[in-house]
A = this chain, B = another copy of it.
Amino acid sequence: MSLAETGEFGLIARVVARFGGGPGALPGAGSAVLLGPGDDAAVVAAPDGRVVASTDVLVEGRHFRRDWSSARDVGHRAAAANLADLAAMGAVATALLVALGMPPELDVRWAEELADGLAAESAAVGAAVVGGDVSASPTLIIAVTALGDLQNRSPVRRDGAHPGDLVAMAGRLGYAAAGYTVLSRGFRSPKLLVDAYRRPAVPYPAGVVAAEHGATSMIDVSDGLVADLGHLATASRVRIDVRRDAFEVPDPMRDAARALGVDPYGWILAGGDDHALVATFPPGAALPADWRVIGAVGEGAGVTVDAEPYHGPRGWDHFAS
């Protein structure tokens, strides 16, 4: 049945029915929800008297393709993009709001499965979808806002890195970009890479752990490592150097790079969408378990790789063609 047949209120009823939690939900997922979908607005607990909020938008053809990703995959990715932003502040997510623009001829099952993906990714971090809006739109577009709580910690900002700090990361890099390249060349494997593109494996708990261990700055890698470290370097007025030998190229990535004739470090250094977390820690800090050193902060400006300017592929500009 198409959305035009279901109608706005029928669609809302079907989507809201999917937002009750789901398999894999943390105990207490959605426990911050004081008033969920169905009223003019939702009410969400903000225990420490502050709320952390981030918005990301996904546009069909630019951020996802329906022939490459299932609706459920797209839901996971849309939620993950926002939940990773909260993790990068050292916050714990509490709630998501979702605005959907969808073509009237779209099958309502696509919207329902999108909702399943949004709900499942949220529930895995203890959050719930509490509200949203839908409209017909010639372009399929998904805008998600995530809310979170800092649990009485200071937010870990982009501007706190100091010369001498260590640069460390949690999670993985280059997998999603490699999967994207594989798909764009018409292949459907290696599965490890394609799956990484479809659903990022975001190291959510590592954000809170980094905040507790005194991270001086943090960001999630969505534009590409060099580009996002560039945001940290600019905000903190420092230079950041990363070491190429800090990154292992996993075998399936090495094989795919060879088969496609590309440099896998292009994926690792410039690929976004894995939503790894990168942070700086004071010199000599004992890093938490999930974190590993990839470089150092110095005086100056910009990002270097092995102390040299980086001339490889650049990160993503969402207005470039």
Contacts and interface: CB of A to CB of B under 8 A. Distances in A.
Interface stretch (A48-56, A190-198, A237-245): A48-56
Contact of A8 (B51, B147, B158, B319): B319
Interface string A47-71: 1011111111111011100000000
B143 A99 contact: yes
A34 B153 CA distance: 13
Contacts of A293: none
B49 A145 contact: no
A41 B53 contact: yes
A319 to B, nearest CB: 5
A68 to B, nearest CB: 18
Given A55-B145, A56-B133, A130-B53, A104 B321 contact: yes
A8 B34 CA distance: 36
A59 B130 contact: no
Interface stretch (A88-96, A113-121, A259-267): A88-96
A51 B56 contact: no
Interface string A214-234: 000011100000000000000
Interface stretch (A134-142, A163-171, A297-305): A134-142
Contacts of A61: 138
A35 B160 CA distance: 14
A139 B53 contact: no
Nearest to A2: B319
A95 B147 CA distance: 12
Contact of A134 (B136, B139, B318): B318
Contact of A56 (B49, B99, B136): B99
A62 B318 contact: no
A274 interface: no
Interface of A: 3-4, 6-9, 11, 34-35, 38-47, 49-59, 61-63, 85-86, 88-89, 91, 95, 97-101, 104, 130-139, 141, 143, 145-148, 150, 155, 157-159, 218-220, 235, 317-321
Given A39-B89, A39-B158, A54-B97, 8 more contacts: A39-B155, A40-B54, A43-B51, A46-B46, A47-B49, A56-B99, A104-B321, A137-B141
